[in-house]
Chain A
Amino acid sequence: MAYQLNVNGKAMTADVDPDTPLLWVLRDTLGLVGTKFGCGIAQCGACTVHADGAPIRACMTPIEAIGDAKITTIEGASALEVGARVQKAWSELDVAQCGYCQPGQIMSATALLSQNPSPTDDDIDAAMAGNICRCATYVRIRAAIKRAAGQEA
């Protein structure tokens, strides 16, 4: 079945089964491989994208549930004012080790700061607890969110 999608501001078409998760439509059908597969059961957050600005786990979101929501992936994050700021902080602090989880981390952090420009440590914990970093770069993830929020530690 052909689905009309809006991804990173562009109209796209995907001819896939209704139960196909958004993750695999992005990666395999549309060739946007920045969004990562980590667990398939919404436990790790590597597949985090935005639907109308809200963070969702693409691995468990079937394409038929997207409707006309505007999807933003890591490839479109730079076009968001907050997303660009988060990416800059991530680069300046060199947060990543392997880097595999970081697209999901950046999308979660961007959603957090878009909703809450001055998050407390507890706010950061709550918003970011769904994103696993296997290399455990959590010290820098926290610092980068604060830097992007203009709260230098």
Chain B
Amino acid sequence: MGIVQNITQGFSPSRRAVLAGGGAGGLILAFSFAGKGAAADGLAKLNAYVQIAPDGIVTIVSKNPEIGQGIKTSLPMLIAEELDVDWANVRTVQAGNDPVAYGRQFAGGSMATPLHWDQLRQVGAAGRAMLISAAAADWGVDAASLTTEPGVVVHAASRRRATYGSLAAKAATQTAPELSSLKLKDASAYRIIGQPTPQVDTAAIVTGQPLFGIDMRLPGMLYAAYAKAPVFAAKVASVDLSAAQGVKGVRKAFVVEGGTELDGLLPGVAVVADSWWAANKGRQALNIQWADHPTSSQSTEGYAGQARSLKAAKGGKTLRRDGDVEAALSAAAKTVEADYFYPFLSHATLEPQNCTAHFHDGKMEIWAPTQLPEPGRQLVAKTLGLAPENVIVHMTRSGGGFGRRLMNDYMVEAAWIAREAGAPVKLVWTREDDMRHDFYRPAGFHHFRGGVDASGNITAWANHFVTFGEGEATARSAGMAPTEFPAQFLDNYKLDVSMMPLGVPTGPLRAPGSNAIAFVVQSFIDELAHAGGVDPVEMRLRLLGKTAAAGGQGGLNAERMAGVVRLAAEKAGWGKTTLGPRQGQGIAFHYSHLGYFAEVAQVAVADDGTVKVEKVWVAADVGRQIINPLGALNQIEGSVIDGISEMYGQITIKDGQVEQANFDTFPLLRIPDAPVIETHFIKSDNPPTGLGEPALPPVVPAVTNAIFAATGKRVRSLPLNAAELAAG
């Protein structure tokens, strides 16, 4: 089972008990967070993060799922800093799903840094205090007279020194200190935080060691393929199971009745075999007829038609109304009216959805690449009729997440199939399964009307947003907050929303909401800037300047945002760079996930309309401290290119089904099209915040605004259409 340990090597509470009671030579520092408040789910917190071996090797648990955001490295860095150890002596391990020990464990919302910046430094500092306390007892001196160097407690007066390894056993018997009493290091003393630190799994990644969910192997494991209806949630009308069973290597083929919830177990046919190739061959032989389904008449064309009707009806629910937009539009020196559209998008994690499950001894044991393990465990328990305590979820490294693995549909499929098969089963989706059964970034339609006065100031802003949903319920990730910029920055502002029903599952895609809203809002600001004869950077500073003195509105601090706008413009040589024909620069900013980002894109548009993004300048304010600069830059560069990539692809619906199936029809950006990226940070005196998402949203409008500067053509609809951008 070595391979299993490689993939999910965390120490679970049960293993902790074995180690603690078995005299394994090391010990584990467990910290009770009494007084820290119970987690939202009411579970008491007992955190166990640190283990110190006699030889001084420190093992630190990373509580959250690793999906490529570098959390398995950066969270342990926080603990190691305050524990005061050499990073070279630190080993990190992935926690299992264990909300009792670790609280909420998830990869989402770029929340890990803001949620753990204080908490995990305190965990480290508490460990250091217990080691000091142990040395003080040994030496009969006052703990206050002791200091630490990395891995060593020092008593300067008597020149005594003791390694953490030698003190660890005694330290574990010390009372854990009150966390609020701990004094944390001054940033000037940091040895680990702020150092460019390679990911802890880098060596395993570059040598191809088993790390990912899809790499799981269990003794006696079988492989599964699962066919679902192309129309979401349609049932099996008929199927030739014997055809699959006739394929060499196939052990079992069976119908799964499933339910109707799009994020649960959907109906389908499972084929279980000795190898995945055999399972998939069996699946192809099934000749399934799917039952008719009410959403089979839906289409992208149909949505567009409904959106036009809803726009024309001018109905919709008013989410926000400040001042009098209609009067302001009538009084405006110039007005602009524009229809914007963005399409559905797929997450397309490069590791297709997969999960390994083994039902044994009345328990369902699961190994899954998941961003949100606990709801997965609950879904499995509910669907299979098991007690939640009989479902165990191990988190593996994920080959990308981007929000896709916040949903655990593949987990419940694997669990169901494994129980039916009576053997450990690894379910692996094909790329086609993955692209046709995603929770898509919702498409959206925005009808804007805006006005500027004679000085070019924006005086009116109306947005009629047509999105998806039924009754009061907006489809998942298809809403827009009434506080979204430029709300509260304009006297006359209106946001109306209309909805149409949708049979396609939607969900959060990296920087959900923002990845679409930044495009339309920052593009329309640009339109109004040009209408008013105001430079696009100047227009943005005017908007932000209006409330800068008030110290921020709607969660967005205008001063911080103005700071990154100025910096991005300065670094890009805005207004001072000589550009060639059909070459242009565009600027945009967006506030999301507590991060302030402004970006300038420089593009060249070929005569045939092909857009080449040459360079992107990023100005970022995510607080006073970058925890791991190596990871931070990688996240920003990846987000920027990811955003550009999203401008080329789309998911379309016909007859209730997704039309695209693989990377030949849903393109992702490749290395020849990756721009040069230059990143600059403003280290403002604010707590550090996350970097998994907020660099993405501004790049899309920065590019479309640059295309306007280069060609005079306004991109109001994505994906980019070269024919519309061609010269002449």
Contact = CB atoms under 8 A, between A and B. Distances in A.
Interface string B126-158: 000000000000000000000000000000000
Interface string A112-144: 000000000000110011111111111111100
A34 B207 contact: yes
Interface string A27-40: 11101111111111
Contacts of A125: 671-672
A141 B641 CA distance: 13
B208 A28 contact: no
Contacts of A32: 208
B645 A136 contact: yes
20 contacts: A17-B248, A21-B277, A24-B276, A33-B208, A33-B217, A35-B208, A38-B351, A40-B662, A87-B206, A94-B634, A97-B634, A98-B68, A99-B211, A100-B212, A100-B399, A100-B400, A133-B350, A134-B402, A136-B637, A136-B641
B703 to A, nearest CB: 14
B62 interface: no
Interface string A1-41: 00000000000000011001100100111011111111111
A94 B674 contact: no
Given A34-B208, A102-B205, A137 B637 contact: yes
Nearest to B635: A97
B157 to A, nearest CB: 43
Interface stretch (B195-203, B290-298, B482-490): B195-203
B578 to A, nearest CB: 23
B349 interface: yes
A134 B668 contact: yes
B198 A77 contact: no
A101 B634 CA distance: 15
A75 B275 contact: no
B205 A142 contact: no
Interface in B206-246: 206-212, 214-215, 217, 223
Interface in B369-426: 397-402
Contacts of A56: none
Given A37-B352, A87-B207, A91-B202, 10 more contacts: A21-B277, A24-B276, A38-B352, A43-B662, A98-B67, A102-B206, A136-B674, A138-B671, A141-B671, A142-B671
A108 B117 CA distance: 39
B69 A38 contact: no
Q: What 3 pairs between A and B have smallest CB-CB spacing?
A: A34-B208, A98-B68, A100-B399
Interface residues of B, number: 65
Contact of A29 (B203, B211, B275): B275
A131 B670 CA distance: 7
Contacts of A16: 275, 277
B206 A33 contact: no
A106 B352 contact: no
Nearest to A145: B671
Most chain A CB within 10 A, of B223, B277, B352, B669, is at B277
Interface string A92-110: 1010111111110010000
B671 A98 contact: no
A94 B198 contact: yes
A98 B669 CA distance: 17
A35 B215 CA distance: 10
Given A46-B350, A101-B350, A91 B206 contact: yes
Nearest to A39: B431
Contacts of B111: none
A92 B670 CA distance: 23
B108 to A, nearest CB: 15
Nearest to A89: B206
B348 interface: yes
B428 interface: yes
Given A37-B214, A98-B398, A44 B674 contact: no
Contact of B664 (A41, A124, A129, A131): A41
A97 B632 CA distance: 11
A74 interface: yes
Contacts of A20: 275, 277
Given A97-B70, A103-B208, A40 B671 contact: no
B599 interface: no
A77 B277 CA distance: 26
B67 to A, nearest CB: 6
Given A34-B207, A40-B431, A136-B674, A94 B277 contact: no
A78 B207 contact: yes
A95 to B, nearest CB: 8
B670 A98 contact: no
Contact of B351 (A24, A75, A100, A141): A100
Most chain A CB within 10 A, of B207, B348, B671, is at B671
B202 to A, nearest CB: 5
Given A24-B277, A98-B397, A139-B637, A75 B199 contact: no
Contact of B348 (A78, A128, A134): A134
Nearest to B641: A136
B630 interface: yes
Most chain A CB within 10 A, of B201, B400, B677, is at B400
Interface in B663-717: 663-664, 668-672, 674, 676-677
A36 B275 contact: no
B637 A43 contact: no
A52 to B, nearest CB: 20
Most chain A CB within 10 A, of B209, B217, B276, B351, is at B351
Nearest to A94: B198
